[in-house]
Amino acid sequence: MSEALGETVRIKSTNNVGGGCINHASKLQTTAGTWFLKWNANCPSDMFEREAEGMNELGRAANGGLRIPEVLCHKAPDHTPGFLVMEYLPPGRSVNDDEKLGRGLAAIHRFRGDAFGFYHDNYCGDTPQSNQQSTDWLTFFREQRLANLLHMIESDRGLSSSDRKVYDRLLDKLPKLIPGESDPVLIHGDLWSGNYMLTTDGPALIDPAAYYADREMEFAIMTMFGGFSSRFFEAYNESFPLDSEWRSRNMLYQLYHILNHYYLFGGGYGSQALSVARSYL
């Protein structure tokens, strides 16, 4: 922190902050203000660097709309834990939070890239996420999202030949299920209700798995677990209307996150993923 701020910083007090399932987190009171710290002794060496990269990109796209905590510094784990230090945003509520969240996310989704993917591979939760760039959304979604994750599941958990055939049939059918034309826009990538927070300055996004995608991909995990009001969706569509048939593709895009949950946690997510795949055949 001292090096990043160009001054000697002393920590006055720390308070544990709950809510995370992967990393530890604390609120730091220092001689240079209040900061948010997350740390982990056993995470991949580039996890916090990749998170910082995603936060910085979201900050560029938000352009003062949604609050994106400013990253101060980060460190890879070595003989001491890795960490990420960010701006601390005081929790609270403001007027019309759901509307602000909808319009703010729509603004981020107008931030276009040159290709689908991202500058580096990153992580969705604890799962490595391949971001090899492509100018074609179908190719990116098929290869870097579904096929890549299925390969990891097959290697680490095993996949029966009958189940593999179902997924292979779905991969072959994708050109009939996904529109041919799509724009690469920035998405948060893991936007469930635990990855946005309400602050005294308005809604904020945290813990991204950011990349450039068809924006319908954003709504996959958002609709899996709920937590987004009808006013949020109204405000989003007032600002940047979704295609009238987006919900017909929603479960197809959810499949990536269901497979990811199966990869991470096992259990009933495997049968749920297979059911979704079969529903599109």
Q: Active-site positions?
A: 190
Residue 145 CB neighbour total at 10 angstroms: 24
C-alpha span between 29 and 157 (Å, rounded): 43
Whether the CB-CB separation of 256 and 142 falls below 8 Å is answered with no
Residues in the chain: 281
* Residue 1 CB neighbours (<10 A): 19
Name which of 145, 126, 147 is nearest 256 in CA terms: 145
Q: Which tokens go with 255? A: 């499949």
125 within 8 A of 264, measured Cβ to Cβ: yes
For residue 34, the 8-state DSSP code is E
Closest CA to 21 of 45, 40, 49, 8: 40
What kind and span of H or E run contains 72?
A: strand 71-75
